[in-house]
Each structure stands twice: as structure tokens, then as C-alpha cells.
Structure 1
């Protein structure tokens, strides 16, 4: 029994390390959230008056031509400004044979971005494959 527990612990530790290093991500790599379109410098925090937030990602070979990719912007916790895990907006993209990069953006709401935590979900054919977080401070 101890051997089985050790194997399960080793597997769980490996999976956690792979997830945190980005090696576990299937379908997307080099995800960048920024105030500048097509930026190489990622940001994780933005001010409430940020005019526009951009996200971009490169596709891996795990996303074949003909796939449907969805990029969803989610307000995870905004202190009551929106319900928890509220999907703000999303964009659907049909992947062609020459597509290797996807991007999306959100413009500041009229009253500014509510302070809180947000995430961007990347789905392929309806299955969430990757998420990335950012905050508004």
C-alpha cells in the first residue's frame, strides 16, 4: 500500500511541476497578455483605467487545421461587480491550414475595469485546454 501511495505522490508531484512549468499546456504556447497588441512582454496586472488589454498565443501541433478555437474573457472575482466566474465575452476562430497564432482583445468598460481577478480561457473544439490569469489593481 505504501508503494502505491508513493507512486501516486510521485505522479501528482510530476503533474504539478509540468503544469507550473508550462510543459503541460496542450495546444497553446507563448501566451502573452499586454497593453500592446502583438507584444512579447507579458503583463499580469493592469490598472482599472487601462484602455485595452490584448492576449495572443501561438498554436502547437495539437491544434490541427479545421479546429475551432474559442478565447473567453472571464471575471473570476470582482468583489460583486460581476457574478463569480462571469464570462464577459469570447471570440470564436476557425483554424485554417496556415494559422499558427491567435489573438483577442477587450476594451475598458465605460466605468473602468472592476478591481479583481480575471482569466482567459483557450478552448479547442469546446474543450478548455489552457487558462491564464491576470488582475486589475
Structure 2
């Protein structure tokens, strides 16, 4: 995440099976925070979520380190706060090596890919002005109540620590043969050039990894 600018806005709209996720982001500005891990000069990123539940989320981001603080509040239908939580960095982050896939424990068949279109051809490289990146996955012969986890990782991106996990999402497929799609909308300043990957896990066992690049 480079080229940060106060007031920049972007959207995230995606689905996992029948679960829709809608989020609106805005960079609120620069702030200094004092945490157990130390003092940091951060960018506060505010998120308003309307699906699957109404929530407000604030994240404090440090280039080269990642998110050092996260505050979230789940709201009721009337707008009142139902639940609040705060996560803070307690010690400097340690970057772990990417896990190696283990074919012996992966499901019988699990595929994934990325595209610039909802149902378009899969790609491995995108331009920084690509309007949206669609991430599609499909599994067969999944066990009952299997948990699918996808981790979005910046392998080599300016101002971000190597192999930094940007975000992750989880889903429980309703049937053994299931698939899903989630959409990443282009930030207002464009995608940051670099190398990325999305790691998929089934019941915490590596299933597949999708790598792609973003160029200017």
C-alpha cells in the first residue's frame, strides 16, 4: 500500500457462496499511536461495512510494518453498538515463510484463479488501473463442514513488509462441490505495483496458491 493520501476512497464488494460482503474505505489521515509494541506514526483507514452485518472498522497502518491497531464495532438495526473489540500490536511483527503445499492432505480437487472479469479468462498480471480483480475458487469432494480460508499476501510490494498478510476470509461450503468469488475494487490511487499471492487452505491444510503481479 503506497502513495497513501488523506481522503482517498475505495470499495470492496464480494461474495463467498451466498454471503455478500460490502465495505467502503477511506483514509482518514495520519495519526501517532502509542502501543505496547512501541510508538508508531500511522495512517488511519476507516471502513463502513453494510454486509453481512453493519459495522465500523478502523485500522492503523504503518508502511513497511502493516496494521498495528484495529478497532471494530458491530451495529444493530437501530445504529446502536452491539459489540466492540480492539486489537493492538504487542511486539514487532515477525514475518513467517510461506507454507509449502502438501498434496497428501489437500482435497481431491481444488482450483483457484484471478481475472479482471467476473467470468473472464484467468490472468497472472494486471495493470495498476484495473477496475477490479475477481478471485474465483472451486472445490470438489470437500468434507462436510469444511472450512475454506483464503489469505491475501503482498510478496514484494513497495512500503509493505515482504510476505505481509493483507487480509483473509473464511467460508464454509454448503455442499461437497462448491465454489465462490470475491471482488477487490481498485483503490482510488490505483493498485500498488508488485508481486502478490492468495493462499487457499481447507481445514487449515494448504490447498493451492495463486500468484499474480500488478504493473504500472
Tell me the alpha carbon deviations over residues 82-109 of structure 1, each in whole angstroms, 9 at most, x when there is no partner: 1111112221101222651122222222
TM-score of the superposition, structure 2-length normalised? Answer: 0.47
Paired position in structure 1 for 2:156: 77
Paired position in structure 2 for 1:48: 128
* Counterpart among 105, 117, 123 of residue 36 in structure 1: 117
In 1, distance between residues paired with 2:213 and 2:200? 18
TM-score of the superposition, structure 1-length normalised? Answer: 0.71
Paired position in structure 2 for 1:93: 171
The structure whose RCO (Cα within 8 Å, separation 6+) is larger is: 1
* Counterpart among 110, 127, 137 of residue 57 in structure 1: 137
Cα root mean square deviation, aligned? 2.3
When residues 115 and 57 of structure 1 are mapped into structure 2, their CA distance, relative to the original with a 3 A threshold, is same
Contact 1:26–1:60 under 8 Å retained in 2 = no
Give structure 1 regions of 4+ aligned residues with deviation exceeding 3 angstroms.
23-30
In 1, distance between residues paired with 2:186 and 2:168? 15
Contact 2:110–2:207 under 8 Å retained in 1 = no
When residues 25 and 49 of structure 1 are mapped into structure 2, their CA distance, relative to the original with a 3 A threshold, is farther
Contact 1:74–1:85 under 8 Å retained in 2 = yes
When residues 29 and 68 of structure 1 are mapped into structure 2, their CA distance, relative to the original with a 3 A threshold, is closer
Q: Which structure has the highest helix share of the two?
A: 1
Instruction: Give the gaps of 5 or more residues in structure 1.
Output: 1-18
Tell me the alpha carbon deviations over residues 38-90 of structure 1, each in whole angstroms, 9 at most, x when there is no partner: 33x111100111121011122021x2120110112111101x32111111222
Contact 1:81–1:114 under 8 Å retained in 2 = no
- The alpha carbon displacement at 1:128 in A equals 2.3
- Give the count of matched residue pairs: 113
